Structure 1
Amino acid sequence: MTDSIARAWDVCDAVLKWAYISKFQYGGGRKATAEDVTAAVEWAASPLTPFEVDRATIDLKDHGYLTGTVGMLLHTKRLMDPRITVEGMRLVDLGRSVRPSSNPLPANPSGVSVTNVNTFNNHGPSNNAVNSSGFTQNIAIEEKTSKILAVADALDAHGEGGHENAEDARETAVDLRALADEPEVNKSKLRELLIKSVSAFALAAGTSAGQQSIQLASSALQVLG
């Protein structure tokens, strides 16, 4: 698979995640721009172009992950008012890529794939392939735990903001912390709690803190897989 094809699928993953976040922040139906997608999903590869984003909206519609009105801009098709479908939300919640595969692939909305990590032993530096060592596995678990705990902290802050669901937010934070140290063992329950967190933050979607919290929960869901 060429780099350009891989990037096209990564852009689709990014746009779908943006649509997911947009649904909770604005109710969906907003035009997808390269700037908005980049900011929402923390795209880290070379800059997105309007053409890539427009093409991704059409590809996602063809796969049943987005719906909306098809329009034209400079001879390029795009969705004018993209909205994520139930199937699209399910895919994002599962942390799976749009890319077809016999085995589900993890979504890569950042556009950057880490293939190697650098660590040290008594004889100096050595390279370890991802998923080939306990060291790498531990890093992955720590990252999941860290993101889950960040969501718990955000829930506590949300609870102190006087929102009508403050008590529920604080209880969800307690539950997340109780399960965060073993993300793989508790994956199903943690996923349920993170989805609940996104819904809780939706009450504050009109604020900067609310938007950041939704992104935190969405990121944790992606990493959890």
Structure 2
Amino acid sequence: MPDADQRREGICDALLTWLYVESQSHYSGSTPAPEIIAAQSDWQSGPISPRELLDAAWTLMRQGLVTSTTPPGQPPALRITPAGSQALEASRTRRASPPTARGKRWRS
């Protein structure tokens, strides 16, 4: 079972992956749901809570990997940024590398 940091990183990774797929379908902004994120990203570490998903979204927004296209008071509609797409591609490259080349992908 992953520790809290690994779980947080995994949720960020799953959310970013989902947003990337959504962007390839030409959606201008998507409102994530924990169960959809988990299903589409092959999540294996127990249910994602709405709070965990919101925390992941804020983490990714602070890092400039995701933007919000939602007026205040509405459910967040998120969009992956070019930097987010690049980070996801770099993450995929690191996963294909030997374990010594891997590092923390997302930081809170």
Structure 1 residue identity aligned to 2:77:
D
| Equivalent in 77, 89, 103 of residue 105 of structure 1 | 103
1:87 is aligned to 2:80 = no
The residue type equivalent to 1:105 in the other structure is G
Q: Indicate the residue corresponding to 1:32 in structure 2.
A: 32
Distance 1:72 1:3 in 2: 32
Identity of aligned residues (%): 26
Please give the alpha-carbon distance, in whole angstroms, between the structure 2 residues aligned to 1:58 and 1:71. 14
Partner of 1:20: 20
* Residues 45/91 of structure 1: CA separation in 2 closer, same or farther (3 Å cut): same
One-letter identity of the residue aligned with 1:24: Q
Instruction: Report if the CA contact (8 A) 2:35-2:47 is conserved.
Output: no
CA RMSD of aligned residues (A): 2.6
Residue in structure 2 matched with residue 177 of structure 1 by the alignment: none
**Alignment of structure 1 residues 1-225 onto 2, 5 Å:** 3-68=3-68, 69=70, 71=72, 80-94=76-90, 95=92, 104-105=102-103
Deviation at 1:105, TM superposition (A): 2.8
Where structure 2 has 5 or more consecutive residues not aligned to the other structure, the ranges are 96-100
TM-score (norm 2): 0.75
Whose relative contact order is higher, 1 or 2, with alpha carbons under 8 Å and at least 6 apart?
2
State the TM-score, normalized to the length of structure 1.
0.38
Amino acid at match of 2:53: V
Q: Distance in 1 between matches of 2:26 and 2:19?
A: 10
User: Mind listing any 5+ residue stretches in structure 1 that lack a counterpart?
Assistant: 74-78, 98-102, 108-225
Q: Which residue of 2 aligns with 1:185?
A: none
- Give the SS at the match of 1:42: coil
Number of residue pairs matched?
A: 96
Q: Is the 8 A contact 2:67 2:80 kept in 1?
A: yes
- Identify the structure with the greater strand proportion: 1
CA contact (8 A) 1:19 1:82 kept: yes
Deviation string, structure 1 residues 26-59 (Cα, Å, up to 9, x no partner)? 4241101101111211111111111111111111
How much has 1:12 moved relative to structure 2?
Answer: 0.7
Could you say what secondary structure the match of 2:14 adopts?
helix
Q: Tell me how far apart the structure 1 counterparts of residues 41 and 28 of structure 2 sit (CA, whole Å).
A: 16
Structure 1 segments (4+ residues) deviating >6 Å = none
- Please give the alpha-carbon distance, in whole angstroms, between the structure 1 residues aligned to 2:54 and 2:21: 18
